[in-house]
Amino acid sequence: VNLDTPFGGLRWFFDHCETISARNIDRIAALGGGIAVQHRMAYQGEYFIARYGAEAVAHTPPIRKMLAAGLPVGAGTDATRVASFNPFVSLYWLVSGRTVGGTPMYAAQDRLDRMEALRRYTVGSAWFSNEETRKGALVPGQLADFAALSDDYFTIDEDSIKHLSSVLTV
């Protein structure tokens, strides 16, 4: 497709990519694409383990490898089609590497720290709409969307992240 209709300058991406290979990560990077990940595995991790095994689930999706390849990576919930619309469940999954039921899926080196997980939701996702200079960070000149949370995302117990809620969204 790139030979017939060059991708240069386009913001294009793949969605989900739970089982993407290292080769395809490199191909997407070479063509200037990105990957949007959703937290389906937070809800379906146990099923995936039962069907494909614990070794296979450890790479679903390989977000650290995507980031290391220089790919734009955004996080989302996929609304109610795949999982809950609650972004805090997704942040819990990205940080803890566990399903909502507590089943571990990812080794520590494959999980994101809290700031990096939040970045995937903010500046990471703004790339997909070509708005990273207008959205995604609380800096002068950008839109100032923010939320006051029920607790401190950066200091609460990891398991409590999935129970956070917004008490004020602006």
Whole-number pLDDT of residue 81: 67
> Which residue, among 120, 118, 97, has the nearest Cα to 164 in the 3D structure?
118
104 located within any domain: yes
> Which residue, among 98, 97, 117, has the nearest Cα to 108 in the 3D structure?
97
Whole-number pLDDT of residue 152: 98
Cβ atoms of 143 and 135 closer than 8 Å: yes
Low-confidence ranges of the chain (pLDDT < 70): 79-82
> Which residue, among 141, 159, 161, has the nearest Cα to 150 in the 3D structure?
161
143 located within any domain: no
1 located within any domain: no
163 located within any domain: no
57 located within any domain: yes
Q: How many domains does the chain have?
A: 1
19, two tokens: 């089982």
Whole-number pLDDT of residue 85: 84
96 located within any domain: yes
- Domain of residue 97, residue span: 13-129
CATH for 37: 3.20.20.140
- The pTM score is 0.90
Integer Cα distance of 6 and 113 in angstroms: 36
90 located within any domain: yes
Integer Cα distance of 66 and 72 in angstroms: 8
- Which contiguous run of DSSP H or E holds residue 29? helix 22-30
Distance of alpha carbon 127 from the chain centroid: 13
47 located within any domain: yes
Distance of alpha carbon 144 from the chain centroid: 21
Whole-number pLDDT of residue 84: 79
